[in-house]
Amino acid sequence: MRRNPENQRKLPRESTPPPPHDAVKVRSGGGLGLIEHQSDTNQIGSSGSGSGCICISARAPDPRPAPPAMSPSGEVVASVSSALAVLLVLLACVELGDAAAAVGVYRLIQYDLAGAPLGSRAAALNHHAAAFPLPAGADLSRSALVAPLLDLPLSFLREYLAEKKHLGGLLVLLPRNISAKNVEGNNDDKGEPKNVLAELEKLLMHEEVPFPVYFAFHDENLDNLLEDIRKIASSGQPASASTGGYKLVVPSAEPKKVSSPTISNIQGWLPGSKGEGDAEQLPTIAIVANYDTFGAAPALSVGSDSNGSGAVALLEIARIFSRLYSSPKTRGKFNLLFGLTSGGPYNYNGTSKWLRSFDQRVRESIDYAICLNSVGSWSNDLWMHVSKPPENPYIKQIFEDFSDISKEMGISVGIKHKKINVSNSRVAWEHEQFSRFRVTALTLSELSTPPEFLESTGGLYDTRESVDVESVMRTVKLVSESLARHIYGLRGRNIDVFADNSSLAISPHYIRSWLDLFSRTPRVAPFLQKNDPFIVALKKELSEHTTDVHVQNDVLDGMFTFYDATKSTLNVYQVASVTFDLLFLLVLGSYLIVLFSFLVITTRGLDDLINIFRRPPSRKVKGA
């Protein structure tokens, strides 16, 4: 039988498309192939002549048993378990990664004196915290020691600095009220915080310290930190990567040199009555005080007493005399020159350059100069320091003026004579710079002896609490009344020019306000720009009471080199020990294995879980 060639067409070889969702299912029943349609639509391939065949798409049945379906409760448990696993990991990361506290800290000064490195020579800190009591033979080369001021033995520091032992870092915790007295202590180094801090500053500022040193004030975070560190220290094991604890981190770049540090001197005049002559030919009385400071921590060196009190006294004297000189009838026959000088801690470098800038005639017109230094915390005794012998007629007359006023006030003024060593450039008092230019001068101070170089110039202990407004007012009263009697010829006459409750009365509010401002403003000259807001404020205040106000900017003596990075932020991290990390890893790994097994059993069955861990059979390759 021959077939029609037209009906012998070959179907194109195309891949069979996947069955649609309404594909036909095939099931067997009684040996017959029964066809169950899910819809009325079938795939039919026919010839062009109308004869063809019907193609039915069907899936072969899977010989393996179908896995059991997960129950709703199993799905809920699996979801909750997955969420708990993720949450546990996140909580662990957050707990171990966040800083326990962030605290503002103040770095020990770093400077060079005539090329010799002094102060702290490092700034970055990244070590585990340690505290007293220390274990015997503890290696502190990789530890940052945290110590309250009164718990830090100075002998410990002296030993480390003398023997050049390496310490990872030092954080000294300062009391909020340094003027408070300490009545209890366990070692010889303890005493009043002010005295202990003065000794600590003296030790740290005049030595090369190879490790970073920071200061911070006690607060709740640091107190809690210190308590925890002490608990770790009491266990007999120092904090480390293996034992855990706390880590102190100060991210700081390498300190850079302060280029061309400037000093700014501010001066103002109260011109005297001209009379028949020229005002410039009138004698001049100069009232001078340096306003800058120097201390162990430049960012904390406010020098409320030394020499904030002297500068504030000068401003008040300028204010009350400006009222007298505002009227031609009460204007004196003397010019008054007011000078706020810089560079005081550095051998009164600014005063020397200020005097050099004067015309020779101006220097020769200065009758005498009164320098005010540290006059804010005396109660009964004030000292007049001079370079010329007390028998000198000028010195004798000035001292008699002060003595007369002091007797009326019920206080005592003593005199101290110290000759100048011309061969030594070092000066102990500001008036000695005037004496080098053959100008009669003196210094009024509560200090009976001259301070050592770079000492008593605004240390950490010199805060607002150490200054008494009444002490500054007594100083202003003493100087103003003695000047008035000298200027107006009132010697021997018991006349109170600046009487209380008068228009010329000394203002305690004015003095208190300026003391508060000085006590909030660190004034280390190398870190004060010439356009610093504080210098601008001083110039503005002096301009309100005097005339011809001028600011002289100059470069600090080259024997000093200073470095920046004076303050930073200390981050305290709580770190876990290696043992804790291993235990946490073990618990987390066990949990994940149990969770994985549970999910496999509930979704695919126990046999599949066993097959995962079963070793696959080896296949032998037969040769051809």
Quickly list DSSP for 490-529: -TT----TT-TTSTT---HHHHHHHHHHHHH---BGGGS-
- pTM of the full structure: 0.78
pLDDT of residue 16: 45
469 shares a domain with 340: yes
Both 120 and 213 in one domain: the answer is: yes
Whether residue 379 is found in the same domain as residue 492: yes
The answer to whether residue 73 sits within a structural domain is: no
| Burial category of 81 from C-beta neighbours within 10 Å (exposed 0-12, middle 13-18, buried 19 and up) | middle
Answer yes or no: is 514 within a domain.
yes
Note whether 502 and 593 are same-domain residues: no
Closest CA to 373 of 455, 438, 486, 496: 455
Query: What is residue 9's predicted lDDT score, i.e. its pLDDT?
Result: 41
Residues 590 and 489 in one domain: no
> The domain that contains 518 carries what CATH number?
3.40.630.10
| Within a domain: 332 | yes
Amino acid at 319: R
Mean pLDDT by 10 residues, the chain (624 residues): 43 45 41 40 41 42 51 52 56 51 94 95 94 83 94 93 92 85 45 87 95 95 90 65 78 92 96 70 95 96 96 98 94 96 96 94 94 96 96 94 95 95 90 95 96 92 95 98 94 87 95 98 95 97 97 92 95 77 80 83 78 67 50
Let me know if residue 622 belongs to a domain. no
Structure-block tokens of residue 38: 């899910």
Distance from the Cα of residue 449 to its chain's centroid: 34
Structural tokens at position 403: 């003595």
pLDDT at 186: 43
Residues 6+ apart with CB under 8 A from 596: none
End-to-end CA distance of the chain: 46
Positive/negative CA dihedral, 280, 286, 291, 293? positive
List, in sequence order, the alpha helices (H) in 10-59.
Answer: none
Tell me: do 228 and 242 sit in the same domain.
yes
Distance CA 82, CA 89 (A): 11
Handedness of CA 116, 118, 123, 129 (dihedral sign): positive
- Is 371 within a domain? yes
Per-residue pLDDT at 493: 81
The CA distances from residue 439 to 292, 386, 399, in Å, are 23, 12, 16
In terms of domains, do 436 and 393 share one?
yes
pLDDT at 237: 57
How far is it, in rounded angstroms, from Cα 35 to Cα 37?
Answer: 6
- Work out the number of other CB atoms within 10 angstroms of the CB of residue 512: 16
Q: Rounded to 5 degrees, what angle do the CA atoms 21, 23, 24 make?
A: 150
Q: Where are the beta strands (DSSP E) in 99-207?
A: 99-107, 110-113, 116-120, 125-130, 143-148, 169-174
Separation of alpha carbons 506 and 526, rounded Å: 34
Domains in the chain: how many in total? 4
Q: Can you tell me whether residue 353 is helix, strand or coil?
A: helix
CA distance 580 to 35: 66
Residue 124 CA to residue 126 CA, distance in Å, equals 7
Confidence at residue 344, expressed as pLDDT on a 0 to 100 scale: 95
- CB neighbours of 166 closer than 8 A, spacing ≥ 6? 140, 141, 210, 211
Q: Residue 87's domain spans which residues?
A: 78-93+583-613
**DSSP secondary structure, 285-297, as one string:** EEEEEE--B--SS
Angle between helix axes 393-409 and 469-487 (nearest 10 degrees) is 130
Dihedral (CA of 589, 595, 596, 601) sign:
positive
Per the domain annotation, does 151 fall within a domain?
yes
Instruction: Indicate the length of the chain as a whole number.
Output: 624
Tokens 């000066």, located at residue: 427
Predicted pLDDT at 84: 58
What is the Cα 242 distance to its own chain's centre?
Answer: 31
Residue 59 domain flag = no
Same structural domain, 44 and 136: no
Strand order from edge to edge, sheet including 284-290: 412-417, 381-386, 441-445, 366-373, 284-290, 335-341, 262-270, 547-555
- State how far the Cα of 561 lies from the Cα of 110, in Å rounded to an integer: 9
The residues that bridge with 555 in the sheet, in sequence order, are: 262
Q: Which two tokens stand for residue 486?
A: 């000298």
- What pLDDT score was predicted for residue 558? 83
Please tell me the distance from the alpha carbon of residue 547 to that of residue 568, in angstroms, as a whole number: 41
Is 390 part of a structural domain of the chain? yes
In terms of domains, do 241 and 170 share one?
yes
Do 205 and 111 lie in one domain? The reply is yes
- DSSP annotation string for 60-72: PPPSSPPPPPPPH
* Whole-Å CA distances, 301 to 195, 297, 308, 407, 518: 16, 6, 11, 36, 10
Q: Answer yes or no: do 232 and 279 share one domain.
A: no
* Residues 118 and 246 reside in one and the same domain: yes
Q: Around 76, how many Cα atoms within 13 Å sit in the side-chain half-sphere?
A: 3
- As to burial, measured by CB atoms within 10 angstroms (0-12 exposed, 13-18 middle, 19+ buried), residue 438 is exposed
